[in-house]
Amino acid sequence: MAERRALLIVNPISGTSRKEGLEEKVVSYLGLHGIEVTPRRTTCAGDATRLAREGVEEGFDMVIAAGGDGTVNETANALCDTGTAFGIIPCGSGNGLARHLGIPVDIRAALEIIAEGRTELCDHGVVNGLNFFCTFGMGFDATVSHKFAESKHRGKLTYISNTFREYISYKPDEYVITANGRVITDRAFVVAVCNASQYGNNAYIAPQASITDGLLDVTIIHYGNLLSTALVGLDLMSGSIDHNMLIHTFRARSLSIERKNSGAVHVDGEPMEMGTSLSIECMPSSLRIFTPRADTPIRPLLTPIMSMMNDIGYTLRNVFGKNLDK
């Protein structure tokens, strides 16, 4: 049986996980399963898309991204509608798409999934010509992400500080959303359009979202007082946000959003700016991804706790030296 060929794209600076020796580990492990791996590293924004496109042109059977949500987005951009299988080794700080797909935040466990060879045809979304594979959003969270990206100092304390500072002065925009033959006019705190269930870090903005149903899940968070908004945050982390009184959710194949002011948005966690008119569409069955499952129903509280325990287990295994070769 001829060896399959894989292109490995590594972002050496993404996230917080250490990547020393990662290429060697991937080459060694997948080599034992009949997969010949060619590693290449990114050096600047857009590199992963370029490298993945070259991989398709060179006839690789699969392209594997080792990095965070930005690297995953860039790589997937080049693989849509090509038939080339996409593997994910989550090494970022959020890992939203990987977590939705049940891909563990652990090198060996992620490689086991690729070696098993099970793939699913998954959807992706497009907003004003830009692809997203996890979530697209605007409103308060996009503003905080934008301010955080501009901060000289990073880390959780900076993010929390920015969140409270922005909340005090934040004024919700007015949105006109057209979908499914209906028009919704709303002064919203957050509008999120989701292909997958979470932003990353087990923050479930659309717990019922499916990545294979040909539909996008839209979550609108209405503006509330400090207490009710804090409760939305708790529901976000427990996987029960769709039961919150401030939340309105629906599904659509396509939608348009008009807002009074141009400004901050986020695309798969990456902050950027867009105009006042937004056209969004789901592109069904466009990307073949290695995954143990495409969708699993979220069980409020239980699913986030189990995911957190798994993360702790993988971390302990790595700390105590149970490396890839054992």
> What are the residue ranges of CATH 2.60.200.40 in the chain?
130-283
pLDDT band of residue 163 (cuts 50, 70, 90) is confident
Contact 113, 290 (CB under 8 A): yes
User: Would you state the pLDDT for residue 159?
Assistant: 61
User: Would you state the pLDDT for residue 157?
Assistant: 66
Burial of residue 86 (number of CB atoms within 10 Å: 0-12, 13-18, 19+): buried
Structure tokens at 37: 């791996």
In this predicted model, what pLDDT tens digit does every residue of 173-228 receive, in sequence order?
A: 999 999 999 999 989 999 999 999 999 888 899 999 999 999 999 999 998 887 88
Element (H, E) at 50: helix 47-57
* Cα Dmax for the chain: 63
User: Would you state the pLDDT for residue 227?
Assistant: 81
Phi first, then psi, for residue 159 (nearest 5°) are: -65, -45
Among the listed residues 17, 14, 22, the one whose alpha carbon sits nearest the alpha carbon of residue 324:
22
Please tell me which residue, 168 or 322, carries the higher pLDDT value. Answer: 168
Q: Where are the beta strands (DSSP E) in 42-118?
A: 62-67, 85-90
User: Would you state the pLDDT for residue 70?
Assistant: 93
User: Would you state the pLDDT for residue 230?
Assistant: 77
Q: Residue written as tokens 């699993």?
A: 296
CA dihedral 195, 197, 200, 203 (to 10 degrees): 140
Residue 44 has pLDDT above 70, yes or no: yes
Residue 156 has pLDDT above 60, yes or no: no
Q: What is the rounded average pLDDT for all residues in the chain? A: 89
For residues 52-71, average pLDDT = 97
Q: Residue written as tokens 């898309």?
A: 49
> What are the residue ranges of CATH 3.40.50.10330 in the chain?
4-117+296-319
User: Would you state the pLDDT for residue 234?
Assistant: 86
For residues 154-171, average pLDDT = 71
Please tell me which residue, 306 or 9, carries the higher pLDDT value. Answer: 9
Pick the CATH number of 130-283 from 2.60.410.10, 2.170.190.11, 3.40.30.10, 2.60.200.40: 2.60.200.40
User: Would you state the pLDDT for residue 321?
Assistant: 59
Among 8-22, 122-136, 310-324, the range scoring the smallest mean pLDDT is 310-324
Structure tokens at 30: 């997948």
Q: Residue written as tokens 């287990």?
A: 313
In this predicted model, what pLDDT tens digit does every residue of 99-118 receive, in sequence order?
A: 999 999 999 999 999 999 99
The two beta strands, 4-10 and 62-67, are: parallel
Which residues is 271 bridged to in the sheet? 266
Residue 17 has pLDDT above 70, yes or no: no
Residue 155 has pLDDT above 60, yes or no: no
Cα dihedral sign, 90-235-195-103 = positive
Phi first, then psi, for residue 5 (nearest 5°) are: -115, 130
Among the listed residues 30, 121, 22, 40, the one whose alpha carbon sits nearest the alpha carbon of residue 76:
121
Non-local CB neighbours of 242 within 8 Å, separated by 6+ positions: 206, 207, 208, 219, 249
Residue 153 has pLDDT above 70, yes or no: no
Please state, for a pLDDT cut of 90, what percent of the chain lies above it: 65
Residue 167 has pLDDT above 60, yes or no: yes
Pick the CATH number of 4-117+296-319 from 3.40.50.720, 3.40.50.10330, 3.40.50.300, 3.30.70.20: 3.40.50.10330
Residue 62 has pLDDT above 70, yes or no: yes
User: Would you state the pLDDT for residue 312?
Assistant: 74
Distances (CA, A) of 247 to 1, 82, 280: 53, 37, 20
Residue 29 has pLDDT above 50, yes or no: yes
- Counting Cα atoms < 13 Å in the Cβ hemisphere of 106 gives 22
Residue 325 has pLDDT above 50, yes or no: no
Contact 142, 265 (CB under 8 A): yes
Structure tokens at 109: 């466990």
User: Would you state the pLDDT for residue 13?
Assistant: 86
User: Would you state the pLDDT for residue 326?
Assistant: 43
Residue 270 has pLDDT above 50, yes or no: yes
Q: What is d(CA 278, CA 64) in angstroms, rounded to the nearest whole number?
A: 31
Angle between helices 22-31 and 107-116 (to 10 degrees): 30
Contact 283, 125 (CB under 8 A): yes
In this predicted model, what pLDDT tens digit does every residue of 299-316 receive, in sequence order?
A: 777 777 777 777 777 666
Among the listed residues 182, 208, 183, 186, the one whose alpha carbon sits nearest the alpha carbon of residue 196:
208
pTM for the model stands at 0.89
